[in-house]
Amino acid sequence: MVAVIQTGGKQYIVKEGQTLRVEWRKDAEPGSKIELDALLVGNEDGSNVKVGAPTVAGAKVTALVAAHGKADKVSVVKFKAKSRYRRNVGHRQPFTELTIEKITA
C-alpha cells in the first residue's frame, strides 16, 4: 500500500516500513505511535486508488515516532559591497523521524 500524508505543511508519499524525516517537531515522545490522515491511498502499481476530498474517509496511517533531532546547520549570509554590511546567521531545522507501520484504507 502507498499513501500520501500531509504534515508540517508538506505532503509525503509513504509506504509501509519506510522511515522519513518530517520538518516539524511533534509533541509525541519517541517510541509512541501517532495516526495521520491520508489524502490518497492506493496500491504500488497504481491500481485501486482512492483520492480524498480533502482526506479519504476511514483511511489512516499509523506511524512510530523514532526520534527527534535537529538537521545540519544552514548558514545564511547577507553582504552588501562598499557599505561594511555583513550578516551571518545559522539555522538548524528541528525534525521528527517517523517509521510508517501500517496503512489502512
Q: Assign residue 101 a region (left: φ > 0; alpha: ψ between -120 and 50; beta: otherwise).
A: alpha
Cis before 94? omega within 30: no
pTM recorded for the entire structure: 0.82
The 3-state DSSP class for residue 67 equals strand
- How far is the C-alpha of 100 from the C-alpha of 83, rounded, in Å? 52
- How far is the C-alpha of 20 from the C-alpha of 14, rounded, in Å? 8
CA within 13 Å, CB half, 54: 4
Tens-digit pLDDT profile for residues 46-87: 888 999 889 999 999 999 999 999 999 999 999 999 999 999
